[in-house]
Amino acid sequence: MTAPFTSILFDLDGTIIDSAPGITATLAYTFETMGVPVPSPAELLAYVGPPILDSFRDRAGMSLGEAAEALAIYRPRYLESGALDSTVFPGVPEVLRAVRAAGIPMSLATSKPETPATLMLSHFGLLELFDIITGASDDEVRSSKEDVVAEALLRLEAFGADLARPVLVGDREHDIEGAAANGVPTIFVDWGYGSAAEQAGSIALAHDPVELQRLLLG
């Protein structure tokens, strides 16, 4: 039987890894260090997934300079203690291994910079399952999901992947929008951080990893 997709892109935060504890704790530290009020836990959770500079600007109302200052505080603290304050969603490693066993080329496509993303996947023993690791550039110049997906497709093409029927797996509306800007459909997973309203525009909804594997491999 032919698999429904010829290459698969995976988001990281909220899709593979529950990284919220480390991210929200590091954000709280960042706001405290800057001497500004720390948002509520629910508000901090909304920061998980989208590019962090965008969130500093759009959610915290920071200027470009303030966002750069916040990032300079956030980044080393997150690498030091936040990145590994996370857990893998149960059942997801089995999906990744099944995709790998099926021989379908697979790339990470995350708005998290590649250094912490690689660190996290290596820590949880998942790094070797991916053919390509694509994330935001460490300087955050490439951080929008649209740009990350475009870069992942370029790298998959150079790898020799068949891009006739690609798909992205993600949990937030910016995943759907960024993939769509590159002509890539999205399967939405509902165990992540996105609300039900953010599912709009996805081609399918996976309620658990077993269902996701069925959607990906047929």
At 124-176, the pLDDT tens digits run 999 999 999 999 987 777 779 999 999 999 999 999 999 999 999 999 999 99
pLDDT the model gives residue 181 = 98
At 133-145, the pLDDT tens digits run 999 987 777 779 9
pLDDT the model gives residue 139 = 73
Cα(94)–Cα(96) distance, integer angstroms:
5
Mean pLDDT of the chain: 95
Helix then strand then coil, in percent of the chain rounded to 5, is: 50, 15, 35
Neighbouring CB atoms inside 10 A of 152's CB total 28
pTM: 0.91
Neighbouring CB atoms inside 10 A of 122's CB total 12
pLDDT the model gives residue 4 = 94
pLDDT the model gives residue 143 = 78
Question: Which parts of the chain sit beneath pLDDT 70?
Answer: 1-2
Q: Is 11 a catalytic residue?
A: yes
Report all structural domains of the chain as residue ranges with CATH numbers, in order of start: 7-18+87-217 (3.40.50.1000), 20-82 (1.10.150.240)
